[in-house]
Copies of this chain bind each other. A is one copy, B any other.
Protein backbone atom coordinates (compact mmCIF):
# COMPACT_ATOMS: atom_id res chain seq x y z
CA UNK A 1 0.00 0.00 0.00
CA UNK A 2 1.71 3.16 -1.19
CA UNK A 3 1.95 6.24 0.98
CA UNK A 4 -0.66 8.16 -1.00
CA UNK A 5 -3.34 5.48 -1.12
CA UNK A 6 -5.71 7.56 1.04
CA UNK A 7 -5.25 10.67 -1.10
CA UNK A 8 -5.88 8.68 -4.28
CA UNK A 9 -8.99 7.15 -2.69
CA UNK A 10 -10.39 10.59 -1.94
CA UNK A 11 -9.75 11.95 -5.45
CA UNK A 12 -11.29 8.90 -7.13
CA UNK A 13 -14.28 9.03 -4.83
CA UNK A 14 -14.85 12.73 -5.56
CA UNK A 15 -14.59 12.17 -9.32
CA UNK A 16 -16.92 9.15 -9.27
CA UNK A 17 -19.49 10.99 -7.14
CA UNK A 18 -19.57 13.64 -9.88
CA UNK A 19 -20.39 10.89 -12.38
CA UNK A 20 -23.16 9.67 -10.07
CA UNK A 21 -24.60 13.18 -9.79
CA UNK A 22 -24.55 13.54 -13.61
CA UNK A 23 -27.01 10.63 -13.88
CA UNK A 24 -28.77 10.81 -10.49
CA UNK A 25 -32.49 11.41 -10.23
CA UNK A 26 -34.33 12.50 -7.11
CA UNK A 27 -34.15 9.12 -5.31
CA UNK A 28 -30.39 8.79 -5.54
CA UNK A 29 -29.91 12.45 -4.52
CA UNK A 30 -32.20 11.99 -1.51
CA UNK A 31 -30.37 8.84 -0.52
CA UNK A 32 -27.05 10.69 -0.63
CA UNK A 33 -28.50 13.42 1.62
CA UNK A 34 -29.84 10.84 4.05
CA UNK A 35 -26.46 9.11 4.06
CA UNK A 36 -24.85 12.40 5.15
CA UNK A 37 -27.49 13.26 7.76
CA UNK A 38 -27.41 9.95 9.59
CA UNK A 39 -23.80 10.36 10.77
CA UNK A 40 -24.28 13.86 12.22
CA UNK A 41 -24.24 14.58 15.97
CA UNK A 42 -27.56 13.66 17.58
CA UNK A 43 -28.44 11.59 20.64
CA UNK A 44 -25.13 9.91 19.76
CA UNK A 45 -22.06 11.98 18.83
CA UNK A 46 -20.63 11.74 15.29
CA UNK A 47 -17.61 9.89 16.70
CA UNK A 48 -19.73 6.93 17.82
CA UNK A 49 -21.72 6.99 14.60
CA UNK A 50 -18.54 6.75 12.54
CA UNK A 51 -17.48 3.75 14.62
CA UNK A 52 -20.91 2.22 13.90
CA UNK A 53 -20.42 2.90 10.19
CA UNK A 54 -16.98 1.32 10.34
CA UNK A 55 -18.06 -1.91 12.02
CA UNK A 56 -21.01 -2.22 9.62
CA UNK A 57 -18.64 -1.72 6.67
CA UNK A 58 -16.20 -4.29 8.02
CA UNK A 59 -18.76 -7.06 8.52
CA UNK A 60 -20.25 -6.30 5.08
CA UNK A 61 -16.69 -6.33 3.70
CA UNK A 62 -16.64 -3.14 1.62
CA UNK A 63 -13.08 -1.74 1.35
CA UNK A 64 -14.12 1.69 0.07
CA UNK A 65 -16.68 2.08 2.86
CA UNK A 66 -14.09 0.96 5.43
CA UNK A 67 -11.51 3.45 4.10
CA UNK A 68 -14.06 6.26 4.22
CA UNK A 69 -15.04 5.54 7.84
CA UNK A 70 -11.39 5.04 8.86
CA UNK A 71 -10.68 8.57 7.62
CA UNK A 72 -13.75 9.94 9.40
CA UNK A 73 -12.94 8.07 12.63
CA UNK A 74 -9.50 9.71 12.61
CA UNK A 75 -11.08 13.14 12.07
CA UNK A 76 -13.45 12.52 15.01
CA UNK A 77 -10.56 11.69 17.32
CA UNK A 78 -10.88 7.93 17.60
CA UNK A 79 -7.70 6.56 19.23
CA UNK A 80 -5.61 3.57 18.13
CA UNK A 81 -7.00 1.52 21.02
CA UNK A 82 -10.59 2.47 20.28
CA UNK A 83 -10.17 1.65 16.60
CA UNK A 84 -8.68 -1.73 17.46
CA UNK A 85 -11.71 -2.54 19.62
CA UNK A 86 -14.19 -1.54 16.91
CA UNK A 87 -12.35 -3.80 14.46
CA UNK A 88 -12.21 -6.62 17.04
CA UNK A 89 -15.99 -6.60 17.39
CA UNK A 90 -16.28 -6.70 13.59
CA UNK A 91 -13.80 -9.56 13.34
CA UNK A 92 -15.62 -11.70 15.91
CA UNK A 93 -19.06 -10.97 14.44
CA UNK A 94 -17.96 -11.33 10.82
CA UNK A 95 -15.30 -14.05 11.09
CA UNK A 96 -12.03 -14.72 9.30
CA UNK A 97 -13.60 -13.75 5.99
CA UNK A 98 -13.21 -10.14 7.18
CA UNK A 99 -9.44 -10.49 7.77
CA UNK A 100 -8.30 -9.23 4.34
CA UNK A 101 -10.42 -6.11 4.97
CA UNK A 102 -9.12 -5.80 8.53
CA UNK A 103 -5.57 -5.85 7.14
CA UNK A 104 -6.28 -3.11 4.64
CA UNK A 105 -8.21 -1.12 7.27
CA UNK A 106 -5.20 -1.07 9.59
CA UNK A 107 -2.77 -0.32 6.75
CA UNK A 108 -5.00 2.63 5.83
CA UNK A 109 -5.13 3.73 9.47
CA UNK A 110 -1.33 3.53 9.73
CA UNK A 111 -0.98 5.72 6.64
CA UNK A 112 -3.46 8.28 7.99
CA UNK A 113 -1.82 8.42 11.42
CA UNK A 114 1.70 8.67 9.93
CA UNK A 115 0.61 11.49 7.61
CA UNK A 116 -1.66 13.07 10.27
Residues of B within 8 A of A39 (CB): 89
A13: which B residues are within 8 A, CB to CB?
Answer: 103
Number of interface residues of A (CB under 8 A): 68
Q: B residues within 8 A CB of A17?
A: 103
Interface string of A87-99 (1 = CB under 8 A from B): 1111111111111
Q: How many Å lie between the Cα of A16 and that of B42 in the bound state?
A: 25
Give every chain B residue within 8 A of A81 (Cβ-Cβ): 25, 42-43
Q: Which residue of B lies closest to A79 (CB)?
A: B43
A52 to B51, CA, bound (A): 8
Q: Assuming the A-B contacts A25-B85, A60-B93, A109-B23, are A103 and B51 also in contact, with contact meaning beta carbons closer than 8 angstroms in the complex?
A: no
